[in-house]
């Protein structure tokens, strides 16, 4: 079992013994937004408050899978010069200090490709960042990256969606390690003008189908904003991923508003 | 040009969010079928002919040839397409494909607005809903095109993220497609993006080069010695060049936008002088203008249609293997070339196409008299009236604008009065 999958199992068992809901929280932070220090402070606060995971997005100029909230934060962050290696070192400090939580790094392919995917896997492992998410790297083009992750004992996190064809979904589910990122709906992250009009299959059926084929834990993200949505996931998924909603709360009321949202949703 | 699984050497491929996988596969299959279906090809030819006015002529330029005293100069007149540019070849092809796939809506990005207008024209003709993404800054610079898109029934969405230009419009179109893929087709305007778009757009544009093959033999008894095309995204260059790929004696020259200078942000030169670097973004791998950390950078050209951060993976590959020579033209040279064509031949070229002219005019005097060159005049220049007026410092134009504005009916009642 991978380090991440083992961590998720352990946490779920712990939650069960404490009579807590058996679903882990993953909260998203844009590195460098609104400044590097403020983003690091925010990550530290989240980890201190006991979130199970933070998903740190290293900004890219053209984040095509993201909606307006995260796009704006990435562009704001890029008004400074950001460096992947420095980011990894800073995350490594946090990972050391808060050993009860885990950090996964999310970015788009180009900044990571320029940094070097093998170097990325190696450096992430050195800093105890155990999972990597690259939404625009399809598994078909990822042989070198997969090998580098395997060699460094970290997990490449693959995404599946409600419109992924069954055969492909089964292939991705079977290849997943760490956890499988199950996109809850069509579209980009958060609220946006691009809302899908098509009613897809129910979330329950979708998650049940994935579960049949996935040996790795399942995380669900995209569009989670309300407690009822998190409750609906209990027993069907392992991690609820909170991205744009948390960023919107942070933008409106700073760290405290963000923490309040997390408490409302998870506790 | 056939790709290898979507790749041309190290460029191309399909790097898109997982949500778009099914739609991308659907286009891949639909295009594979359509390009081998005689009925589809017959309909395509009919629409090219009856709606866009193909074939476009190959025009000999006697005055320019005499002026330079070197190569025999011919223009491939893509400016004579309906909508005034080669963009029409592609939107007609993809529009028919959309009907074939049974989708009801098209999404497109546009920089200067030429592809936006072409898409809106075809959408109107085929009865498709149409949404055009355009950078807010481009909308300011190119409002007349926006006006026509709206009149044609398209929804024009200003993109206010990033630099608010073509690159941001493309990102936003991809975001729309991520949520609307089940009923919408992303009608990309150039031979960029994820597979099969580069190959598909090049296929539809290859009508340009295929016509030149026949016309050159008919008009001067052989294939051209040299071909010139401007390179923004690369679709008109692919269209002229690819049909001659196997004819090794035909030399190909691509001309990029040198803009105001060679500093990052001042130009759109991706393929020469080590200014661009390999990267993977906006769905595909190619040479991008980017910083060391892999962040895509701003670009500039006097011709909005060349003002793009990436380039067709097909052109990137053919440049890398030495099949195409790349050069660039500065904004000032472009205006000079444009003016020269106006004065010598009575043709108004688009500023994009004027880059190809500038590149060819530099070489023409040094080429032998038995050398035949064909320059792709990818579009006409009427759309550039404001920019060219400013560049040649026309003295009367500002007064015209002031007077026009003074007489412009600004309220509803004025309009009613005028209509009465």
Which of B172, B201, B230 is the endpoint of a domain? B201
Alpha-carbon distance B379 to B236, whole Å?
A: 10
B219 & B337 share domain: yes
pLDDT values of chain B reduced to their tens digit, one per residue, 420 residues: 889 999 999 999 999 999 999 999 999 999 999 999 999 999 999 999 999 999 999 999 999 999 999 999 999 999 999 999 999 999 999 999 999 999 999 999 998 899 999 999 999 999 999 999 999 988 988 898 999 999 999 999 999 998 898 999 999 999 999 989 989 999 999 999 999 999 999 999 999 999 999 999 999 999 999 999 999 999 999 999 999 999 999 999 999 999 999 999 999 999 988 899 999 999 999 999 999 999 999 999 999 889 899 999 999 999 999 999 999 999 999 999 999 999 999 999 999 999 999 999 999 999 999 999 999 999 999 888 988 899 899 999 999 999 999 999 876 555 555 554
Q: How far is CA A30 from the centre of its chain?
A: 11
Instruction: Mark yes or no for CB contact B279/A65 under 8 Å.
Output: no
Same domain as B132, residue B33: yes
- The answer, yes or no, to whether residue A197 has pLDDT greater than 70, is no
Same domain, B310 and B344: yes
Residues of B noted as catalytic: 61, 86
CATH number of residue A250's parent domain: 3.20.20.70
Q: Is A258 on the interface with B (CB under 8 A)?
A: no
CB within 8 Å of A247: residues ≥ 6 apart: A28, A30, A69, A70, A73, A190
Whether B295 and A137 lie within 8 Å, measured CB to CB: no
Q: Residue A202: what pLDDT?
A: 87
Q: What residues in A contact B179, CB-CB < 8 Å?
A: 186-188, 192, 194-196
Question: Quick one: pLDDT at residue A100?
Answer: 96
| Closest CB to A64 among B175, B179, B293 | B175
Number of domains in chain A: 1
* Residue at B16 is within a domain: yes
Q: How confident is the model at residue A261 (pLDDT cuts 50, 70, 90)?
A: very high
For residue B278, being part of any structural domain is answered with yes
Distance, CA of B176 to CA of A197 (rounded, Å): 12
Chain A positions touching B181 (Cβ under 8 A) are 163, 186
Smallest CA–CA distance, residue A226 to chain B, in Å, is 21
Contact criterion met (CB < 8 Å) for A159 and B17:
yes
- Who's near A84: CB < 8 A, 6+ residues apart? A58, A111, A112, A115, A120, B293
Contact criterion met (CB < 8 Å) for A194 and B175: yes
For residue B120, give both structure tokens.
């809106």
User: Which pairing describes strands B7-8 and B226-230: parallel, antiparallel, or unpaired?
Assistant: unpaired
d(CA B155, CA B150): 6
What's the number of domains chain B is made of? 3
Q: Minimal Cα–Cα distance from B190 to chain A, Å?
A: 18
User: Are residues B192 and B217 located together in one domain of the fold?
Assistant: no
With CB atoms and an 8 Å threshold, state whether A196 touches B179: yes
Nearest to A62 by CA among B163, B141, B13, B90: B163
Per-residue model confidence (pLDDT) at position A238: 97
ipTM: 0.94
Give residue ranges of B with CB < 8 Å to any A CB.
13-19, 21-22, 25, 157, 161-162, 167-168, 171, 174-176, 178-183, 277, 279-283, 288, 290, 292-297
A109–B161 CB contact, under 8 Å: no
Question: Does A25 contact chain B (CB < 8 Å)?
Answer: no
- The Cα B8–Cα B17 span in angstroms is 21
Domain with A107 in it: 3-266
Domain assignment present for residue B1? The answer is no
Radius of gyration, CA atoms only, chain B: 21
d(CA B202, CA B312): 9
A85 close contact with B: CB closer than 8 A? no
Q: Which of B153, B176, B201 is the last residue of a domain?
A: B201
Burial readout A182-199 (b: 16 or more C-beta within 10 A, e: otherwise): bbbbbbbbbbbebebeee
Contact A114 B293 (CB under 8 A): yes
Give the bridge partners for B324, in sequence order. Answer: B252
Other beta carbons within 10 Å of B3: 19
Residues of A belonging to the active site: 55, 66
Contact between residue B361 and residue B373 where contact means Cβ atoms under 8 Å apart: no
Which letter does DSSP use for residue B379 in this model? B
Q: pLDDT digit string (tens) for A156-181?
A: 999 999 999 999 999 999 999 999 99
Percent of chain A at pLDDT > 70 equals: 97
Position B50 scores a pLDDT of: 98
- Judged by CB atoms closer than 8 Å, whether chains meet at B171 and A195 is answered as no
Same domain, B92 and B57: no
pLDDT at B1: 81
Instruction: Tell whether B241 is covered by a domain.
Output: yes
- Indicate whether B328 belongs to any domain: yes
Mean pLDDT of A148-159: 97
Same domain flag for B211 and B357: yes
Concatenating the DSSP letter of every residue in B26-73 gives HHHHHHHHHHT-HHHHHHHHHHHHHHH-PSPPEEE-HHHHHHH-SSEE
Domain-embedded: residue B2: no
Is the separation of the CB atoms in B250 and B227 below 8 Å?
A: yes
Q: For residue A192, list chain B residues with Cβ-Cβ distance below 8 A.
A: 175, 179
For B32-52, letters b (16+ CB in 10 Å) and e give eebbeeeebeebbeebbeebb
Across residues A213-228, what is the average pLDDT?
93
Considering the domain architecture, whether residues B281 and B409 belong to the same structural domain is answered as no
Which segments within B150-217 are labelled E, that is strand? 155-159, 184-186
- Angle between helix axes B351-363 and B331-345 (nearest 10 degrees) is 90
With a cut of 80, say whether residue A201 has pLDDT above it: no
H helices of A18-67, where?
36-48
CB-nearest partner of A138 from B14, B176, B282: B14
Strand order in the sheet with B129-135: B155-159, B129-135, B105-110, B184-186
Query: For residue B45, is it within any domain?
Result: yes
Range of the structural domain that residue B346 is part of: 53-84+204-387
- Please check whether residues B273 and B331 belong to one and the same domain: yes
Mutation choice for A interface testing from B26, B286, B293 by most A CBs within 10 A: B293
Q: Are residues B141 and B279 in the same domain?
A: no
Based on the fold, state whether residues B93 and B73 are members of the same structural domain.
Answer: no
On whether both B401 and B382 belong to a single domain, the answer is no
Q: Are residues B104 and B179 in the same domain?
A: yes
Q: Which residues of A touch B162 (CB under 8 A)?
A: 61-62, 75
Instruction: Tell me which chain A residues have a C-beta less than 8 angstroms from the C-beta of B288.
Output: 110
CA of B308, closest CA in chain A: separation in Å? 13
CATH number of domain containing B227 = 3.40.50.1100
Interchain contact A109–B (C-beta under 8 A): yes
- Point out the domain boundary residue: B142, B168, B201: B201
Residue B306 and residue B257: Cα distance in Å, rounded?
Answer: 6
pLDDT at A53: 97
Is A161 an 8 Å CB contact of chain B? yes
């Amino acid at each position: 079992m991978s380090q991440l999958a083992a961590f998720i199992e352990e946490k779920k068992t712990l939650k069960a013994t404490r009579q807590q809901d058996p679903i882990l929280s993953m909260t998203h932070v844009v590195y460098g937004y609104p400044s590097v220090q403020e983003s690091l402070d925010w990550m530290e606060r989240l980890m201190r408050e006991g979130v199970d995971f933070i998903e740190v997005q290293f900004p890219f100029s053209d984040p095509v899978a993201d909606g307006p909230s995260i796009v704006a934060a990435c562009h704001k962050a890029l008004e400074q010069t950001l460096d992947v290696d420095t980011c990894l070192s800073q995350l490594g400090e946090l990972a050391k200090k808060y050993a009860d939580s885990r950090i996964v790094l999310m970015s788009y392919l180009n900044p990571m490709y320029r940094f070097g995917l093998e170097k990325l896997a190696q450096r992430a492992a050195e800093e105890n960042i155990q999972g990597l998410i690259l939404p625009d790297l399809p598994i078909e083009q990822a042989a070198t990256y997969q090998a580098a992750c395997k060699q460094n004992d970290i997990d490449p996190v693959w995404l599946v969606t409600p419109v992924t064809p069954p055969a492909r979904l089964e292939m991705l589910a079977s290849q997943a390690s760490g956890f499988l990122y199950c996109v809850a709906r069509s579209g980009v992250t958060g609220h946006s003008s691009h809302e899908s009009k098509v009613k897809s299959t129910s979330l329950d059926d979708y998650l049940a189908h994935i579960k049949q084929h996935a040996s790795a834990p399942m995380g669900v993200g995209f569009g989670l904003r309300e407690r009822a949505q998190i409750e609906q996931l209990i027993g069907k998924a392992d991690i609820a991923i909170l991205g744009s909603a948390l960023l919107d709360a942070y933008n409106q009321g700073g760290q405290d508003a963000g923490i309040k949202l997390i408490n409302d949703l998870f506790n | 040009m056939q790709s290898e699984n979507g790749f041309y050497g190290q460029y191309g491929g399909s790097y898109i969010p997982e949500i778009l996988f099914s739609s991308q596969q659907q286009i891949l299959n639909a295009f594979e079928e359509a390009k081998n279906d005689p009925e589809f090809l017959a309909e395509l030819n009919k629409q090219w002919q009856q709606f866009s006015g193909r074939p476009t002529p190959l025009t000999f330029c006697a005055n320019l040839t005499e002026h330079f005293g070197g190569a025999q100069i011919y223009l491939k007149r893509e400016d004579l397409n309906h909508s005034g540019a080669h963009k029409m070849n592609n939107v007609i092809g993809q529009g028919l494909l959309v009907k074939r796939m049974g989708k009801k809506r098209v999404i497109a990005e546009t920089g200067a607005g030429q592809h936006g207008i072409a898409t809106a024209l075809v959408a109107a003709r085929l009865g498709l809903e149409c949404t055009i993404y355009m950078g807010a800054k481009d909308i300011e610079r190119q409002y007349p095109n926006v006006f026509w898109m709206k009149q044609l029934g398209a929804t024009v969405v200003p993109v206010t993220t990033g630099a608010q230009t073509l690159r941001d419009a493309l990102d936003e179109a991809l975001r729309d497609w991520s949520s609307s893929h089940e009923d919408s087709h992303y009608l990309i305007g150039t031979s960029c993006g994820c597979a099969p778009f580069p190959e598909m757009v090049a296929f539809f544009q290859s009508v340009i080069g295929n016509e030149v093959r026949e016309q050159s033999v008919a008009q001067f008894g052989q294939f051209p010695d040299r071909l010139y095309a401007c390179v923004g995204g690369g679709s008109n260059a692919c269209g002229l060049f690819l049909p001659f790929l196997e004819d090794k004696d035909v030399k190909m020259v691509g001309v990029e936008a040198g803009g105001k200078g060679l500093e990052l942000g001042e130009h759109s030169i991706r393929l020469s002088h080590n200014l661009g670097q390999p990267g993977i973004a906006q769905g595909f791998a190619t040479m991008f203008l980017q910083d060391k950390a892999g962040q895509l950078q701003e670009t500039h050209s006097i011709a909005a249609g060349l003002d793009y951060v990436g380039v067709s993976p097909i052109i990137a590959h053919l440049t890398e293997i030495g099949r195409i020579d790349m050069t660039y033209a500065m904004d000032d040279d472009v205006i000079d070339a444009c003016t020269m064509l106006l004065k010598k031949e009575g043709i108004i070229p688009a500023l994009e196409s004027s880059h190809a002219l500038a590149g060819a005019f530099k070489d023409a005097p040094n080429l032998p008299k038995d050398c035949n060159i064909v320059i792709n005049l990818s579009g006409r220049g009427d759309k550039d009236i404001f920019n060219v007026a400013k560049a040649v410092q026309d003295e009367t134009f500002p007064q015209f604008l002031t007077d026009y504005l003074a007489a412009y009916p600004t309220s509803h009642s004025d309009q009613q009065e005028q209509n009465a």
